[in-house]
């Protein structure tokens, strides 16, 4: 039986001090043990996910491996000592601007964190995924609001997590009502959210207008535009068209990094449509996701021309391709810049490089932006424009896969995310759930261990 929300939050608040002061090595050991436990139970977890999420077993096994890799990556980050962010400036009476006291800076955990499980990644961004792993690594207890798309999988994963971690450090809750309760509860000190823009904006507003406002790290997705130059079309147009179709169809378009807007020369749109038309139908996660997708496509087709009509059938939903022009978007018909979660994209044609640059400059914030070009024709101005609007800029590749590595930044300017300064992937994701404290003039015996002078 699910514990009451008050009981869950009381336990998290009680556990916060002890877990937050646990040594980095001990937290690393716990994350490593959790990774081992998930690996041991991966067969059962994949079978559950295959049934609930309607995803292929091979893809799910790869996502479990990614999830345990993430946990071990954070464990390694903890063991390195970098998670503490220690900076020591010793006393210096001759410091040029004036005498400097002894200053020692360290990062400390914020406290209990609410994590919202992603629909599109049932492992890597869910119960034991990146947000949970980074908050635990920071020293924060975690309360996960499960996705409605896979409740049984969420419960079983949570059982494994709770068996490994100390009591109160982790909990799982279900139900839409829990979302609002978690964000508003004073025991919660930060929120990590991946989901729809509509829900995310509502919760972000609640977090910002609480009596004690808290950080809300929301990922709302984007259209992840892809700009294709004329030289690139001449050099490898067929390859680009096939690559785009594959990227659009990957996981039935249910990725926050799906390329949803392809900007191409006028004479290339038909080649792209031919590749999309050849794609087969794939199932979406569940009836609710399918209904939202169909409603989204219906709204877009009220303003945009249909180049490839996907539709639904026994096999699922075939990809839909819509068509417009860069000029129409620039004139204010910007429906093509609205994300629709699922297998649909817009191809927008441009007449010249000036129009290409104007469209790039008109973009709202994005998670990714991609350029397909050649070394002798890529426009430096285009790259500069996209750098100002995206958290990751991609050259001659596709943005779908989010590498779990220290250099990755998965975030972007508003409205893609609520904080362009932070990533939800890679070890630096831990920084979302820490804050700096400086100790001035303290004797070593009163300092946290990581700040004390070594004998």
CA angle, 135 then 74 then 78, to 5°: 95
Q: Is the separation of the CB atoms in 381 and 301 below 8 Å?
A: no
**Computed from CA positions of residues 237, 241, 194, 138, in that sequence, does the dihedral angle turn out positive or negative?**
negative
Write down the pTM of the prediction: 0.92
Q: Which of 310, 129, 300 is nearest to 223 (CA)?
A: 300
Question: What is the C-alpha separation between 297 and 386, in angstroms, rounded?
Answer: 26
Contacts of 65 (CB under 8 A, 6+ apart): none
pLDDT at residue number 285: 80
pLDDT at residue number 1: 41
Q: Is the separation of the CB atoms in 372 and 235 below 8 Å?
A: no
Structure tokens at 258: 């799906």
Question: What is the C-alpha separation between 113 and 169, in angstroms, rounded?
Answer: 10
pLDDT at residue number 3: 66
pLDDT at residue number 127: 97
Q: Which of 345, 376, 395 is nearest to 244 (CA)?
A: 345
Contacts of 78 (CB under 8 A, 6+ apart): 24, 25, 27, 28, 31, 137
Q: Going residue by residue through the chain, which has 455 residues, state the pLDDT in tens, using 9 for 90 and above.
A: 456 899 999 999 999 999 999 999 999 999 999 999 999 999 999 999 998 887 889 989 999 999 999 999 999 999 999 999 999 999 999 999 999 999 999 999 999 999 998 888 899 999 999 999 999 999 999 999 999 889 999 999 999 999 999 999 999 999 988 999 999 999 999 999 988 888 899 999 999 999 999 999 998 879 999 999 999 999 999 999 999 999 999 989 999 999 999 999 999 999 999 999 999 999 888 788 889 899 999 999 999 999 999 988 878 899 999 999 999 999 999 999 999 999 999 999 999 999 999 999 999 999 999 999 998 887 899 999 999 999 999 999 999 999 999 999 999 999 999 999 999 999 999 999 999 999 999 999 999 989 998 76
Ordered structural domains, the chain, with CATH: 5-220+417-451 (3.40.605.10), 226-395 (3.40.309.10)
Q: Is the separation of the CB atoms in 184 and 209 below 8 Å?
A: no
Q: DSSP strand E in 103-189: where?
A: 103-109, 113-116, 142-145, 170-173
């Amino acid at each position: 039986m699910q514990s009451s929300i008050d009981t869950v939050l009381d336990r998290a608040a009680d556990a916060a001090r002890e877990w937050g002061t646990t040594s980095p090595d001990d937290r690393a050991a716990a994350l490593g043990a959790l990774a081992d436990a998930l690996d041991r139970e991966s067969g059962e977890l994949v079978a559950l996910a295959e049934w609930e999420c309607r995803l292929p077993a091979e893809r799910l096994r790869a996502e479990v491996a990614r999830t345990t890799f993430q946990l071990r990556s954070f464990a390694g980050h903890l063991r390195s000592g970098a998670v503490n962010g220690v900076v020591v400036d010793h006393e210096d009476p001759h410091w040029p601007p004036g005498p400097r006291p002894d200053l020692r800076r360290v990062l400390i955990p914020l406290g209990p964190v609410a994590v919202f499980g992603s629909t599109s990644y049932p492992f890597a961004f869910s119960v034991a995924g990146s947000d949970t792993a980074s908050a635990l690594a920071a020293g924060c207890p975690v309360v996960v609001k499960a996705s409605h798309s896979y409740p049984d999988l969420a419960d079983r994963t949570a059982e494994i997590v709770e068996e490994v971690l100390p009591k109160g450090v982790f909990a799982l809750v279900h139900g839409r009502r829990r979302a609002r309760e978690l964000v508003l509860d004073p025991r919660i000190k930060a929120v990590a959210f991946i989901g729809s823009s509509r829900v995310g904006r509502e919760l972000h507003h609640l977090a910002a207008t609480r009596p004690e406002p808290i950080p809300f790290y929301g990922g709302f997705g984007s259209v992840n535009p892809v700009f294709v130059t004329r030289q690139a079309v001449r050099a490898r147009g067929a390859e680009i068209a096939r690559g785009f179709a594959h990227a659009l169809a990957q996981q039935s378009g249910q990725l926050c990094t799906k390329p949803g807007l392809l900007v191409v020369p006028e004479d290339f749109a038909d080649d792209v449509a031919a590749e999309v038309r050849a794609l087969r139908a794939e199932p979406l996660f569940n009836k609710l996701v399918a209904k939202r997708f169909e409603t989204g496509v219906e709204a877009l087709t009220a303003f945009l021309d249909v180049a490839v009509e996907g539709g639904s059938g026994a096999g699922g939903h075939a990809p839909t391709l819509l068509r417009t022009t860069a000029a129409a978007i620039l004139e204010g018909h910007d429906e093509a810049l609205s994300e629709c979660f699922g297998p649909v994209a817009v191809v927008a044609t441009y007449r010249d490089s000036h129009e290409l640059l104007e469209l790039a400059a008109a973009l709202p914030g994005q998670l990714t932006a991609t350029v397909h070009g050649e070394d002798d024709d890529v426009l430096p101005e285009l790259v500069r424009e996209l750098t100002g609007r995206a958290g990751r800029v991609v050259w001659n590749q596709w943005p779908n896969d989010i590498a779990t590595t220290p250099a990755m930044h998965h975030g972007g300017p508003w409205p893609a995310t609520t904080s362009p300064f932070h990533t939800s992937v890679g070890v630096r994701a831990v920084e979302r759930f820490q804050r700096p404290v400086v100790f001035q003039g303290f004797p070593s015996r009163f300092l946290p261990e990581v700040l004390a002078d070594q004998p």
